[in-house]
């Protein structure tokens, strides 16, 4: 396996502002779909690994040929799904070697793989690490048997603890656990049990989200039909406060509304790139990507989103002559393009930046979008500052601890 040699092959190349140094690969295959899932994914008995890998590599070549620009060495590489842990060690070894050869990695990159507790085996994890994976995001979601059944998870509470034990045995040193709370019927005692169970496993990172009832999902339909009781807003706020208090006591600091880490170095560097609106490449069915346009362009940002149908995606990218035929970036059949205006980009920078506990750097915001936009923002923020919901500290605008539970309301006021 040549990963350890190629990882430094192109280290030290200059990073251009418009050159993505962050890459997301979507692996949209699962053994079964969770009842709350709104991500592009399909349930399969067997993952079409070989065919999907070929499509991913062809899309990468297309994206690079289409842009005709230097792509910077990767700082982060994230395999999301779906259920990436269904894929073999050879799959990840081959694709990581490919990126190491074609792009290269910076020194100490972050390579994350999402995994289901039911899939964790020592041989597989050891192979993933040898291929270059150095961060595992484990989808625990809840330790409640009732909650796991409700969410449609295919692992048990006991499997979470066993999975973490195997990961530690394999020397995984950067482990993130996912938690979902405020699921229908959950009470405070359930959340406290989840937090006690989670903190006992001592993860380096936690992503904890209130359940979002997305249109079309099985759980959403059950709540709408009155078959399941939603958690009321007051209980959700109480749960959010309990979450931060318990994780803080366990040494996990909230650095984003829904994300906690033991130290700055253990924050999710890949997700930080999204929240800071950095350029990134997305590969795979359902993936999206984006980059800043040249200053002379009419739009601020150019984005794309691939079809969520993995079979259509593979079919289109396996067409003979795909790369040469599509040099004009014609992707209507499998990928949609979008242009984001300066005003919309500013709104996104505000919404995402204020989710971070360190807030927005007003000087950087002014440099990027101009004095007038930032001046209007500060004028709107003054009232909320007086109410103790916002604070301007060392030229950073951030939401206070007391305003955290009103994040969406505060952001809507500022827009």
| CA 310/CA 398 separation, integer angstroms | 40
Q: Is the per-residue pLDDT at 67 higher than 80?
A: no
Q: What is the residue whose two structure tokens read 């150095």?
A: 134
Q: Name which of 97, 113, 84 is nearest 175 in CA terms.
A: 113
Q: Is the distance from CB of 21 to CB of 109 less than 8 angstroms?
A: no
| pLDDT for the residue 348 | 93
178-212 pLDDT, tens digit each:
999 999 999 999 999 999 999 999 999 999 999 98
| pLDDT for the residue 300 | 84
* 101 upstream amide cis, omega within 30 of 0: no
| pLDDT for the residue 12 | 33
Alpha carbons within 13 angstroms on the beta-carbon side of residue 115 total: 29
Label the pairing between strands 42-43 and 29-30.
parallel
What is the per-residue DSSP string for 118-140?
GG--HHHHHHHHHHT--EEEEEE
Q: Is the per-residue pLDDT at 220 higher than 60?
A: yes
| pLDDT for the residue 331 | 63
Distance of CA 327 to CAs 124, 303, 336, Å? 38, 17, 16
* Whole-prediction pTM: 0.91
pLDDT more than 70, % of the chain? 91
Q: Name which of 28, 100, 89 is nearest 60 in CA terms.
A: 100
| pLDDT for the residue 25 | 98
For the chain, give every residue range classified as CATH 3.20.20.70: 3-275
| pLDDT for the residue 76 | 97
| CA 132/CA 109 separation, integer angstroms | 9
Q: What residue spans of 265-370 are helical by DSSP H?
A: 269-275, 310-317, 322-325, 342-353, 362-369
Q: Mean pLDDT lowest for which of 224-228, 243-247, 249-253?
A: 224-228
Q: What residue spans of 354-400 are helical by DSSP H?
A: 362-369, 371-386
Query: What is the SS3 assignment for 317?
Result: helix
CATH topology of domain 3-275: TIM Barrel (3.20.20)
Q: Name which of 289, 317, 281 is nearest 48 in CA terms.
A: 317
| pLDDT for the residue 347 | 92
| pLDDT for the residue 9 | 35
Mean pLDDT of the chain: 89
| CA 142/CA 156 separation, integer angstroms | 9
| CA 34/CA 236 separation, integer angstroms | 22
Q: Is the per-residue pLDDT at 13 higher than 50?
A: no
| pLDDT tier for residue 299 given thresholds of 50, 70 and 90 | confident
Q: Is the per-residue pLDDT at 132 higher than 90?
A: yes
386-399 pLDDT, tens digit each:
999 999 988 999 99
361-382 pLDDT, tens digit each:
999 999 989 999 999 999 999 9
């Amino acid at each position: 396996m040549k990963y350890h040699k190629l990882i430094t092959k192109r280290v030290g190349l200059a990073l251009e502002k418009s050159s993505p140094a962050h890459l997301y690969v979507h692996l949209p295959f699962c053994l079964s779909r969770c009842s709350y899932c709104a991500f592009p994914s399909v349930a399969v008995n067997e993952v079409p690994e070989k065919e999907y890998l070929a499509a991913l590599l062809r899309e990468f070549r297309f994206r690079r040929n289409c842009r005709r620009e230097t792509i910077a060495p990767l700082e982060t590489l994230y395999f999301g799904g779906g259920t990436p842990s269904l894929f073999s060690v050879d799959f990840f070894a081959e694709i990581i070697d490919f990126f190491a050869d074609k792009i290269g990695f910076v020194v100490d990159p972050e390579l994350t793989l999402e995994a289901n507790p039911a899939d964790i085996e020592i041989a597989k994890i050891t192979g993933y690490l040898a291929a270059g994976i150095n961060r595992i995001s484990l989808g625990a979601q809840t330790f409640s048997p009732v909650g796991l059944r409700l969410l449609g998870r295919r692992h048990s509470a006991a499997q979470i603890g066993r999975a973490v034990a195997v990961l530690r045995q394999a020397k995984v040193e950067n482990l993130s656990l996912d938690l979902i709370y405020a699921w229908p019927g959950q009470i405070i005692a359930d959340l406290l049990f989840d937090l006690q169970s989670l903190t006992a496993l001592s993860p380096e990172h936690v992503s904890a989200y209130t359940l979002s009832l997305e249109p079309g999902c099985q759980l959403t339909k059950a709540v709408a039909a009155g078959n399941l009781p939603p958690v009321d807003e007051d209980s959700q706020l109480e749960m959010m406060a309990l979450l931060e208090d318990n994780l803080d006591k366990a040494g996990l600091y909230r650095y984003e509304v829904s994300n906690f880490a033991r130290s700055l170095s253990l924050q999710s560097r890949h997700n930080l790139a999204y929240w800071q609106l950095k350029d990134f490449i997305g590969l795979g069915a359902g993936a999206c990507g984006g980059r800043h346009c040249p200053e002379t362009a009419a739009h601020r940002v150019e984005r794309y989103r691939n079809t969520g149908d993995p079979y259509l995606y593979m079919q289109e990218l396996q067409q003979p002559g795909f790369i040469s035929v599509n040099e004009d970036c014609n992707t209507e059949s499998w990928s949609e393009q979008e242009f984001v205006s300066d005003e919309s980009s500013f709104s996104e920078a505000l919404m995402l930046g204020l989710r971070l506990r360190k807030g927005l750097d007003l000087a950087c915001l002014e440099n990027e979008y101009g004095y007038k936009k930032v001046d209007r923002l500060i004028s709107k923020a003054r009232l909320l500052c007086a109410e103790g919901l916002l604070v301007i500290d060392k030229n950073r605008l951030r939401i206070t601890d007391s305003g955290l539970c009103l994040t969406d309301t505060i952001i809507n006021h500022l827009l």
